[in-house]
Structure 1
Amino acid sequence: MTRTARAGNAGTSPQSEAQRRTLRVLVTSQVLSGAGLAAGITVGALLAQDMLGSTDLAGLPSALFTAGSALAAVAVGRVSQARGRRPGLAAGYLAGAVGSAGVITAAVADNPVLLFIALFVYGAGTATNLQARYAGADLAAPAHRARAVSTVLVATTLGGVVGPNLAAPTGDLAETLGIPALAGPFLLAGVAYALAALVLTLRLRPDPLLLARSLDLERRTAAEAAGATGDAAPVPERGPGLIPGALTMILSQLVMVAIMTMTPVHMLDHGHGTAASGFVIALHVGAMYLPSPLTGRLVDRHGGIPVAAASGLTLLAAGIVAAVAPGDSVALLTVALALLGLGWNLGLVSGTAMITDAVPLATRARTQGMVDVSIAIAGATGGLASGVVVASASYPVLALAGGILSLAVLPAIAATASRR
């Protein structure tokens, strides 16, 4: 029986209804969290540069909140494994709100050490924003898992596009409150993350992961009672998609964070203000999430491997365009960052679908959390290295190196395809 046929049998079952409710709640929380995520991306590097007076460590904020997201990914994964998605995701967003408040406090006190600690805590929001995609797939039929993931991801688009474009207005609001203008977007981030936590706490019922386990147990019990277990295939401990799926997402995150982090700094050095960089980042974030429905359909129809390969090639194109774009060309930088977001999207949706298919329910949340730790570490590495590379070489060198590095996923994908 094909994956599509199996999905068709689900019809309008209680599981299907619970899945629709889960997606509605996740979409609402993702719209809010997307604004929090994108707001910090827009000005994090600029705030550090302003406080430190140097570009050498301008990539450190991205590295710190990405490193914080690594720790949060473990915590959210373990809490979700033990208690379900609802408490895990809500706690992660609440931590992101606390981190946002810490960033504002550090900016007011002009305390770089407190800033870096707060950015580390703020990273919990980033991790939780990504972990939510797994919740969208818990109750989905196998043939529709990638589309379920894409539905959750695309919901981030609205908040992700609005957030960076509010950098200037929130900066003005911050100044009226006696807060440095560059800390203004973190006002938005704190409120957005807190509201996302509230929505999940109140509305994500039944818990998708706990319900999926319960339904799976019922099916197994019924099969055993009918004497069918002797003919059932054993549940694999790990499917073939785990390694290529994880590698695709790791490389996509590393390359995307590295180039994205230094783009606002690169634009500022060429005379562009926060409004222009906010516009570019807004379109970049839109490209990260808006193509998700199409990407999900491609993965469901053709499998994750070809889409993952397309991710590497798209990221290469992004690096080349960013490298050759003149510093005063907002148009070309916008194209480069849009391609960068699209390449990341292709990698994330395909990688997530491959991992979800490969991991059994009994260990799914914990394994997904550990995979996201690797993704976060890769992002932290890219963010930290980006400032060093630009300071010692240039932004075009960083962009081109990132694009070439993204091709490293192709041999692993080819090897996996040949084994299959």
Structure 2
Amino acid sequence: MTEAWRGRPSWIAAATVACVGVPQVGPAFGSGVEVTAGDVASVVLMAAAAILVVRGRTRVPRAALLAFGPLVATLGVTTVCSSDIAASLPGYLRDLQIFVLVPLAVVLVCRDRRDLGIVCGAVLGLGLAEAGYGIWQAATGNGASIGGANIRAVGTFGAVDVMAMSVVAAFAFVLATAYLLAGVRRSRGTVPAALGGLAVLGAALVLALSRGTWLALGAAVVLMLVLFDRRLAVRAVACGAALVLLFGVFTGGDSSAVTARARSMVGSVTEPDRSVNDRYHLWSAAQGMWRDDPLTGVGVKNFAEYRDTYAGIELSSGSETHDPVNGYVRQSLLSPHNQYLLVLAEQGLVGLAGFALMLAAVVRGLWLRRRPRDPLWLAAAGAMAFLLTNFCYSDLGGPTTVLTAVLLGVAAARALGPRRPAPALVDRHGFRVHRPAAHAPGGAP
């Protein structure tokens, strides 16, 4: 059994996840391109997957080729049609890495449930480690600055990547929720551990003060509850709404950072703060780029070059961050903070079509193979829901990009990989229970 676990190539994917948390110490490579420890590990992961294919130990599923093939083609077309091909080449390679090569590598190295469990376990471990460190930062005043106090939890990523820790913790929260729901029905011994993990992750997410992550995670968890048990979802949403109402009543006069950030979500439309206002201007600039180049856009990685041409004078010149490690840093606004608008502006309708087809193929595959009682399937569905929602007001960048690619690969493995037998049912005494002859809806036998 020990050798069976050690000899699995999925440990390389797990190591890639662990490397995401390694702090970035080197300078940026070129304009807006950084090579992190996770990027280096992802190259090893892709090489290992290629070796498995060459040696005949695995093969690329046909469904995966149909899903990722159009994206490869559209990326190539929009890069060739770019106004500056040389500037677009790094972006082309980056998109190929994140949206095609790393997810495909995860599909190839995760050949069964144990492999997927190893990768998901690594995500949980990374999330808990970052969450614990983030809580310590907020408690001791060693986090990122907000409102003049260094109380924002940012983990090992620092204020330069202020949202990174919240994304990592959110992915881990999705996985812990899936295991908790499955544990209630199968193995109640996992429930206390899952609840403890959720408590740590939840506290870190609150202290991260990331409004976008709160919204995306809420959408993902609600979807997971609905898929698992609609009655449970109704009860959970009702309890959550009651807790939010009580929180609002008891903190009516509170001016804490958490309360202020929560209230700012309500006024994002009528009275947006500077951050939200800048985002609206960036969205407008992205739409302007698309209107002038509707088919192929301005070229991959060229948004920053055209930003000032299309953005109004109200747009800030950059965002300001500060923490005890990095000090004061002013960062340029290099993207529209909306993945869909970023693809539309830089790659036009051609690029958006390839991107949308890839996402649709993964979602469709998950739906056709749905097994809401399977924690791995439920986690994949939750991760996709989080990504699809988060992409509405955020785009990929920074060290967590590789983690997103790995989670996309986990979802693709459940949706597009070889059909695997469903997990065995176990009664409360630990004995295997034979499944009935009927198949799960849309699933494999």
TM range (shorter): under 0.3
Larger RCO of the pair (alpha carbons < 8 Å, separation 6+): 1
TM-score (norm 1): 0.27
TM-score (norm 2): 0.26
From the CA coordinates, give the structure whose radius of gyration is larger. 2
Q: Which has the higher helix share?
A: 1
